[in-house]
Every structure is written in structure tokens, then in C-alpha cells.
Amino acid sequence: MEENKGIDKNQIAGFLLMGAIILGFGWWNSINAPEVQPENATEVVEEVASDALSEDAKPAMEVEAVADSNAFTAQEVTISNAELSLTFSSAGASLTSAALADYHTYDDTAKTEALDLVKGNSQVFDLQLPGGDALSAKEFEIASSTPRSVVFSDGTTKVSIELAEVGYDYSFVVSGTANATGKPELYWERSAQRTEKGISTERQYSSFVYQLTEDGDVEHLAGRGSDDSEATDPINWLAQKQRFFSLIVHPEQGFTTANIATVNGDDENENLIKEYTATATLNQTVSGAYTLPFTMYAGPNQYQLLKTYGQGYEKAINFGWGIFGAIGRGVVVPIFNWLEGYGFGYGLIILIMVLIIKLTLSPLTFASYRSMAKMRVLKPEIDKINEKYPADKDKVQKQQAIMNLYREAGASPLGGCVPVIVQMPILFAMFRFFPASIELRGESFLWATDLSTYDSIISWSTEIPLISTFFGNHLSLFTLLMTVSTILYTWMNQQMTPQTGSSEQMKQMRVIMYLMPLMFMFVLNSFPSGLTYYYFLSNIITFSMQWGIRKTVNDDAILAKIEEKRTQPKKESKFQQRLAEMQRQQNKNRSQRRNG
């Protein structure tokens, strides 16, 4: 018989479950118990005492019950303008609601409720002064209020809040007398709730953002990871950025440092995007009477709007790093806003943007096609060279012969790559632009009801291993069209490009070229339909341009020009002349050493 050495796991689980049930039952009873109103307390006590005395036949006595007149009851006050409505509680002057009148959550199709960035107790904004109580511990009274402002006071500390007449910014000023000298510390926490259809994309594009004091650069805490933390250098402002909306805290003198952390929500809670936590030290020393002014922002990540504040807030919108971000901010955004100013629909705006980019690059495209045409007419001669050097040991001689042929004909195997290389930064800039553009949010085009998220024509609820994880439980039609058009474009290029390597190498290359669109289909299936619509249009217009150029380019005329060029005397470039001179000098030195 096996000796029982203690409580097994099942027993522990049972005890824990029973404890949870008891605690849960007690909690349920406490929240469902009838509330005793303070003003009725005297009547209840007197009634109970009277019944007890009559029952026991005791002599009459006066019973006095005094209600606690000092009990604090929090009050809420709302200030608003046409764009933003803010609700504050007198308990700690805490923000309990930040409702954006012009925006709604993705599932509010009737658009009946304003989108609320702060719901109830989802945010903690606590200011701790040296040697004093935290702001959250204060029991304020409403000293004064107007439709756009409110002042809280408890006699020693005052919080003055004023909302801008227009827009999403407001001032938050804390003043009073400090008990000790030092720098106040801010603790800021929020559970960011879901606002968009594509939850994985929203989590990816949600993170802490801050501006460094030293050089004004704006940094982003990694958004992809499920758990990220960082200690910053001195910063000017700190933002809890979601994909399309942000809360920004900007002290007048900035922060000396901030410890920030984010944790992604999980699949068990699909309404939680991220948990934000920050502990930051203000770059302001208080001693005696103090005033701590903050500028706050609670609103959309709209590039031009954020730019008007002149504080670098617009850089919180991540258009990518380096040249990709520069193209996004300096080229794509101005063109988009210019077209938007004409009142065009967003589907048409995207089409016009594709046409502008393609027309701008058309000289390169035409030159690329001429280079490909030269390669095509040279294919019979290339085939002869391949037949002449079939063995692997002759690979070097074969490559030299092919390169000599290209040089004689004035053709370049890399000529067709130039437009692709030039377009790559633009493609990556678009890859960052569309997921970050709030202008597309809720805008429909054809079957896509929202260009800022995926356009699912087929969806399912069953979890399929790997497919659900990497592809999603839906099929985006624009992504499918983009994939098919990319495969057709790849096939067309394969027909126009001559085979220069071995048959086995070309087969492997073709497989890779056809697999790439399928891989991108998996990556982009959950991305905004505006992005995949752009890529689809880009493929179609490129295909059409090449078809039109091919109809106007005469292969026989190109071949005739190649033959004519071959008959002309070859003029070496200065670089080739220098190489030849170096070779002659080396040969001369070797000859002298042998003779010496």
C-alpha cells in the first residue's frame, strides 16, 4: 500500500475551489445586499430599539443615532466640446471617461455611442509628491465648473482642468504646498480596450511612444512582443498609443526618466489590446508652494492634426524607419491629403496614387523593358553558349562568354531590376502607411466595408491548426486578387526573361518566384484591404504598361540595332582603360623579374 505523504494535487485544487466558492458567495452577498441610506439610519435604529424595549417591558429611554456626516461620496463632472467629452471623479481627480464624438468602435455599426478611450476604472493616473499623499488618495470637492472646465480642491491641493474650445487637448494643472523637497513621480496605468476589427493588427500597432529631450527623436516601444519593458533617458512627453488613438501626457518640463512596460492581451480576453504601465519622474523639483502644469491629449492619430501642436506628436504614427518613413511622411501623406481635399472617395484616391507613382516611374519601366527585349532577342545566342559549355567545370567560361555577348549588344541582365529596386522603398512605405491611416477607418469601397481592415468574403469559427494562427479564420478577397495578379505578373516576366543558368537552377528559381506570392498571401490576409487593393492595382497597371510597351517595341528593330552596334569599333571606357593599363604593368613587372 502506497504511503500518503501529504495532500495531492486534486485535494489542493478541491480546497482552492471550495475557498473560491466561499469567497465568491460572500462577495456576491456583499454586492447584492440592500444599501442602507445614511439619512434613514436614525429611523432604523430608533425602530429596532423601540421594538426591543417593548418586547422586554423595559422603561422608556431616549436612543440617539448620529449618521456619519463626514463620509466621502465621490462626484463626477463632465466637460466637453464638439469633439471630446471628459468625465472626472472627485476621488483623486481621476479621468473615468474620454469619449470621442466623431468616432465609434468597429462593431457599433449604427454609430450610436461615442468611442470611449477610458472606461470606468481602466486607467490609473496617480501623482505622488515628496512627503505627501498621492493624488489618488485625495477626496476633492468641486470648487467650480463650466461646460469646458472644472476645479477640484481639498483645501491643500487644487487640480484645475480646462478643455480646449476645439480639438482633443486639455490642460491639467496640480498646485498646492509640498511637505518636502524633491521631484514628483507619476504612475500611469491603463487597460486599453479593443476598438478595431483586426485585433492582431491593433495589438501590433499599439505601444508606448515618447520623445527624447536631447535630440527630439521619437522612439517606439516594441509593439509585437507580448511583454516589453524599457527605461528611458530624459523625455519630453509620453504617449499610450493604440493603432488609431492615443493618450498623451506632456509635463511642461518633461520627465527625467520613465520606466515603461506593455503586456499584450491574450486570446481569452479578445477585448483587451494591451496593458500599459509607466512610472515616470517629473523634471521639476518642488519645495513649498508648487504648480505642476500638464498638457494632455486624448484623440485620434491623425497626422496633420497632431502636427498642428508643434510638439512632434505626429511622429507617434509609425511610418517606418529611415527612407521608408521619410517617403511616407514626405511623399505619400502629402499626395494622399491633396487628393483627399478634392472630396474623392478613398477607393478612387488609392487608384490615382497608383497611377501617379507608375507614371513617375514610367521612364525607368520603359528602359527596363527595352533591356528585357534585348535579352529576349539574344536568347538564341545564349542557348548556343549554354550548349557549348554544358559541364559545371565550364561555368566560368560560359559566364564570360555570356557577359561578352551582353557587352557587344549593349544589354544588361540587371536592367530589368532597376525599377524594382526603385519601387521597393515605395512599396515598404505603403506597407506602413495604410495600417496607420485613420482616414481609411470605416470607409467602404466595393465589397470592402472598412478599408482600414481586412475584407473577409469567407469566414469560419472553427480553429484550424496553423491556418488559424498564421492565416486567420477568414479569406480576404483583395488579398486573393493581389496574389493571383502577382502570379500572373511573375509568369509574364518568366516568358520575357531568357534562361541564362542551368535547367535545374531555373526550375528552382521558378518555384521560389511562384511561392513568394503565396507566402505574402498568408502575411497580408489580415492586413487592411486598402493595402492589398493598392498592391492589386499596382500589379494590374504594371502588367498593362508592359503589355502596351511590348506592342510598341519591335524585336526585329532591336536586333538590327544590336547587329549594327557589333560592327562599330569598340571604345573602351576610362575604367576599362585603367584596368588594361594595370594588367600591362603587372605583365611587364613579371617579365622583368623573370629576366632579372
State how far the Cα of 91 lies from the Cα of 152, in Å rounded to an integer: 10
pLDDT of residue 1: 39
State how far the Cα of 450 lies from the Cα of 531, in Å rounded to an integer: 12
Contacts of 377 (CB under 8 A, 6+ apart): 555, 558, 559, 562
Q: Cβ–Cβ contacts within 10 Å for residue 316, how many? A: 23
Cell of 329: 511622411
pLDDT of residue 522: 85
State how far the Cα of 538 lies from the Cα of 429, in Å rounded to an integer: 14
pLDDT of residue 268: 74
Which value, in Å, is the radius of gyration of the alpha carbons in the chain? 35
Taking the CA atoms of residue 566, residue 570, residue 571 and residue 573 in that order, the dihedral angle to the nearest 10 degrees is: 80
pLDDT of residue 466: 74
pLDDT of residue 171: 96
Read off the pLDDT of residues 455-498 as tens digits, 9 standing for 90 and up.
988 888 777 887 777 777 888 999 999 999 988 888 877 766 55
Nearest to 167 by CA among 85, 249, 250, 254: 85
pLDDT of residue 523: 83
Q: How far is CA 186 from CA 123, 191, 194, 249, 280, in A?
A: 13, 17, 25, 10, 5
State how far the Cα of 169 lies from the Cα of 401, in Å rounded to an integer: 69
Contact 47, 30 (CB under 8 A): no
Read off the pLDDT of residues 207-261 as tens digits, 9 standing for 90 and up.
999 999 999 999 998 766 556 788 999 999 999 999 999 999 999 999 999 999 9
Cell of 380: 538564341
Strand-pairing partners, residue 554, are: none
What one-character DSSP code corresponds to residue 415? G
Q: How far is CA 518 from CA 298, 468, 522, in A?
A: 40, 16, 7
Task: List, in order of start, the domains of the chain with CATH numbers.
Answer: 76-318 (2.70.98.90), 333-563 (no CATH)
Q: How far is CA 230 from CA 57, 279, 366, 396, in A?
A: 73, 11, 49, 53
Position of cell 475557498?
19
Nearest to 280 by CA among 247, 258, 249, 254: 258
pLDDT of residue 576: 54
Nearest to 170 by CA among 297, 356, 14: 297
State how far the Cα of 550 lies from the Cα of 411, in Å rounded to an integer: 17
Q: Which residues of the chain have pLDDT under 70?
A: 1-70, 223-227, 391-394, 408-419, 495-506, 553-556, 558-559, 561-580, 583, 586-587, 590-596
For 444-510, strand residue ranges (E) read 456-459, 474-476
Read off the pLDDT of residues 395-429 as tens digits, 9 standing for 90 and up.
777 777 777 777 766 666 666 666 677 778 888 89
Contact 496, 555 (CB under 8 A): no
For 255-363, strand residue ranges (E) read 255-264, 272-282, 289-300
Global pTM reads 0.74
State how far the Cα of 370 lies from the Cα of 412, in Å rounded to an integer: 10
For 232-271, strand residue ranges (E) read 235-241, 245-251, 255-264
For 66-140, strand residue ranges (E) read 76-80, 84-89, 94-100, 115-116, 123-128
Q: Exposed, middle or buried by CB within 10 Å (0-12, 13-18, 19+), for 364? A: middle
pLDDT of residue 370: 74
Q: How far is CA 131 from CA 177, 254, 282, in A?
A: 11, 21, 15
Q: Give the helix/strand (H/E) hosting 514.
A: helix 503-524
